[in-house]
C-alpha cells in the first residue's frame, strides 16, 4: 500500500515537473506583469514583487472594457453562426453516403490548407465588390468563413459515428419535417462536439488580429488583440515590458476561465467527434 502511495506521489511530481517546464515561459511573463512598471531587472527572480500597477496601466491604455466588449461581440456572434452553419452543413454530408457528400467533405477540408495572409487582397476586393461596408462587423464574415473547414470536419465525424439514424426514426414516424428533426433531435445531441467547435474556433477568433487589423479602422471598435498591437509598438519602449505582459494576461484571461470550465467536455467532444469517426 505504501509503495502505491509513493509511486503516486512520484507520478505527481513527475507530471508537475514536466508541466512546470511547459509553462515556465508563461510564469516568467506572469511574474513580470506583477512588477511595478519600471522594475525590469532580472525577470528570473520569480514573484519577487507584487504590484498591480502594470495591470492598471495596461487596463487603462488598452481601454480594456471597451476592447473586451468588442472581442466578446466578435467572437460570440462568429462562433454562434459557425456552430449553426457548419452543423447544418455536416448533417446531409454525414447522413447521405454518396459521391456528392464525399466531394463536399473534401472540398471543405481543402480550405484548411490555404493561409489567409496569402489571399487577403482578393478577399478585401471581393467584399468591396459586394458593397459590404468595412465596419466592426466585417471581420465576422472572415472568421466564419475560415472556421468552416475544421468545424464541418468535426461535425461530420461526430454525426457519422455517434448519432445513429435510429434516433430520428420515431420522429420520422410522427411525420416531423426535416427542420424539426434536425433542430429538435439531432442538434441537441451534438452538444459535446459543439463544445469542441466553440473552443477550437473561439480561441483563434479571439486571438486573431489579422482580419481585425484589415477591416477595423476605429480605435473604439478594436477588440483585444488589436488593442494589444498598440503595445507591440511599445516594444521600442523597453521600460514598458511589464505592462505588455500584463496586457497579454488580461487578453488571455477570459479564455483561461472558459477553458477551465469546459475542458472536460472539450476532450469528450473530440473523443466522439473526430477520433472515433
Partner 1 sequence: MFQGKKKMKTILAGVTALAATAALLSGCGSSDKGEESSGGSKNVTLTMIVSGNKAADGQDFELDVLPKMVSEKFPNIKLEVQKLPDDQYNTSIKTKLAAGEAPDIFRVWPRMGSAASIIDLSKAGYLADLTDLPFMSNISEGARSDMSNDGKVYGITKGIDMLGTYYNKDLFAEVGITEVPQDWQAFLEACQKLLDAGVTPIVMGDKDPWWIQFGAYQLAANTVYSADKDFDLKLQSGEKKFTDETWVKALSMYKELYEKGYIAKNTLGLGGPQATQMFIDGKAAMVFDGTWDFPTLTAQGAATFERGFFPLPGNEPGQPVWQAVSTAAGWAVNAKSEHLEEVKQVLNYWFDSSSDLFAEWVKLNPSISAFNGVPLNNDLYKYSYELYQSGGNSIYFANQMWPNGVADTLQVKFGEIIGGRKTTTEDVAGAMQAKFDELWKK
Partner 2 sequence: MNSAVLKKTMYWFVVPALTMYLVFWIYPILRLFQYSFSDYNGFIQNFNYIGFDNFSQIFKDGVAGTSLSNTLIYTLVFVVFSNLIALGLAFLLNMKIRATGLYRTAAYVPTLFSAIVVGFIWSYVYMPDSGLIATVLSWFGVDGASLNLLGNYSSALYAITAVDVWKHIGTSTVIFLAGLQTVPVDLEEAGRIDGASSWQVTRFIRLPLLATSMTINVTLSLINGLKAFDYSFIMTNGGPGRATSTLLFEIFRMAFREMQYGKASALAVVSFIVIIAITIFFVLRLNKREVSA
* Residue of 32, 54, 70, 201 interacting with partner 1 (CB under 8 A): 70
Closest to partner 2 by CB, 37 vs 255, is 255
Q: Does 230 bind partner 1 (CB under 8 A)?
A: yes
* Residue of 124, 176, 203, 255 interacting with partner 1 (CB under 8 A): 124
| Binding to partner 1 in span 3-62, by CB under 8 A | 38, 40-41, 57, 60-61
* Residue of 5, 121, 175, 218 interacting with partner 2 (CB under 8 A): 121
C-alpha cell at 117: 495572409
* Residue of 83, 146, 214, 227 interacting with partner 2 (CB under 8 A): 146
The interface mask with partner 2, positions 192-231, x = CB under 8 A, is --------x--x---xxx---------------x--xx--
Least distance CB 24 / partner 1 (angstroms): 20
Chain contacts with partner 1 (rule: CB under 8 A): 38, 40-41, 57, 60-61, 65-66, 68-73, 76-77, 80, 120-121, 124-125, 127-128, 134, 136, 162, 189, 191-192, 195, 198, 209, 213-214, 216-222, 229-241, 261-262, 264-265, 268, 272
Amino acid at each position: 500500500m505504501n509503495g502505491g502511495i509513493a509511486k503516486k506521489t512520484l507520478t505527481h511530481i513527475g507530471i508537475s515537473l514536466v508541466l512546470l517546464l511547459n509553462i515556465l515561459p508563461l510564469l516568467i511573463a506572469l511574474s513580470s506583469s506583477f512588477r511595478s512598471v519600471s522594475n525590469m531587472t532580472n525577470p528570473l527572480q520569480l514573484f519577487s514583487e507584487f504590484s498591480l500597477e502594470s495591470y492598471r496601466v495596461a487596463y487603462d491604455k488598452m481601454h480594456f472594457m471597451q476592447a473586451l466588449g468588442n472581442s466578446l461581440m466578435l467572437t460570440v456572434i462568429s462562433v454562434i453562426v459557425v456552430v449553426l452553419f457548419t452543423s447544418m452543413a455536416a448533417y446531409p454530408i454525414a447522413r447521405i453516403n454518396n459521391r456528392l457528400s464525399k466531394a463536399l467533405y473534401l472540398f471543405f477540408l481543402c480550405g484548411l490548407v490555404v493561409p489567409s495572409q496569402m489571399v487577403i487582397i482578393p478577399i478585401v476586393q471581393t467584399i468591396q465588390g459586394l458593397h459590404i461596408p468595412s465596419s466592426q462587423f466585417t471581420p465576422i464574415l472572415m472568421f466564419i468563413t475560415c472556421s468552416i473547414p475544421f468545424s464541418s470536419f468535426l461535425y461530420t465525424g461526430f454525426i457519422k459515428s455517434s448519432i445513429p439514424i435510429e434516433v430520428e426514426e420515431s420522429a420520422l414516424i410522427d411525420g416531423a419535417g426535416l427542420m424539426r428533426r434536425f433542430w429538435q433531435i439531432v442538434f441537441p445531441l451534438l452538444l459535446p462536439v459543439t463544445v469542441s467547435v466553440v473552443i477550437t474556433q473561439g480561441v483563434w477568433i479571439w486571438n486573431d488580429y489579422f482580419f481585425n487589423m484589415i477591416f477595423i479602422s476605429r480605435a473604439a471598435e478594436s477588440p483585444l488583440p488589436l488593442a494589444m498591437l498598440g503595445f507591440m509598438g511599445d516594444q521600442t519602449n523597453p521600460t514598458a515590458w511589464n505592462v505588455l505582459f500584463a496586457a497579454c494576461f488580461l487578453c488571455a484571461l477570459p479564455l483561461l476561465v472558459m477553458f477551465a470550465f469546459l475542458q472536460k467536455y472539450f476532450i469528450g467532444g473530440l473523443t466522439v467527434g473526430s477520433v472515433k469517426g
